[in-house]
A and B are shown apart, each in its own frame.
Chain A
Amino acid sequence: MKISCEEAAHICNKSQYKEAGLWEIIKLKWHIFMCKTCAKFSKQNTTFTSLCDRAGLNVLTETEKEEMKKDLEKHI
């Protein structure tokens, strides 16, 4: 049941991507209940996830960028 802060952070990160198991989340909640530092981190981390969702980020894939680079190099 007891986990370290590193483990808690790891589970917290995983849960941001919905990859944490149920038992892991229970352990995390228990840890957060007792550890103020991790509680703060967890809250910030979750906020950050929701900010990322809200911002509707877009990126070009690496292959697209490689193509762009090659194309651009021809013109340099």
Chain B
Amino acid sequence: MVLLEKNMVAYKLQPENWVDQYADYLFNYAVARVSDAEIAKDLVQETFYAGLNSAKNYKGDAAERTWLIAILKRKVIDYYRKINSKKGKAEVRVNYSAASDAEGDWLEEQVADPFSKDGDSSIENEELGLAIQECISKLPKKQSLVFKMKTIQGMSTEDICNELGINPSNLWVMIHRARTALMGCLNQNWF
């Protein structure tokens, strides 16, 4: 029993690093599901709180991030429950029966369109986003910061230089290193 407790101490969470390490990853995950940045941000914040509160339940059988994602999943579900109960009811729409008197190949029309790749590709794009985010989190802090500001926030070179107090050639060197590292990382994990 004592041994077990000793083992459990080894799996300690590090909440002080959570924001730096996982905030963007969780945020991407949440945005893909609720498609609203503000709500997604709140959900991430709530996930961190919930993580803190149940930190004692963390047994170390999953990586910290996986564990946090599991909490976030619940938060997303809770969010949808809440907005649905506000409306008072979940809407169920069955469109087809209303138009069922339309003549022709109605059965064939209900079959999934083999040429529509929308569903697949949006799932794939989300996974790609998470894969890139994971690679970004492995970069040195300054590089990942510059890369994110430039590529994702789309800030101008000048603004970034002013904010971080670096000169443009500095910036491009960091961008180059970040991009090269990310390409290598994606090559391993994505393709």
A70 and B37 alpha carbons, distance in the complex (Å): 20
Task: Tell me what chain B mostly uses at the interface: helix, strand, loop, or mixed.
Answer: helix
**Residue B125, interface by CB 8 Å:** yes
**Residue B159, interface by CB 8 Å:** no
Interface residues of B in 69-92 (CB under 8 A from A): none
B129 touches A57 (CB 8 A): yes
Interface residues of B in 11-55 (CB under 8 A from A): 15-16, 18-20, 23-24, 27-28, 31, 37, 40-41, 44-45, 48-49, 52
Contacts of B49 in A (CB 8 A): 72, 75
Task: Tell me what chain A mostly uses at the interface: helix, strand, loop, or mixed.
Answer: helix
Interface size class of A (residues with CB under 8 A): 20 to 34
**Residue A35, interface by CB 8 Å:** no
User: Which B residues fall within an 8 A CB radius of A?
Assistant: 15-16, 18-20, 23-24, 27-28, 31, 37, 40-41, 44-45, 48-49, 52, 125-126, 128-129, 132-133, 145, 148, 150-153, 157, 172, 175-176, 179, 182-183, 186
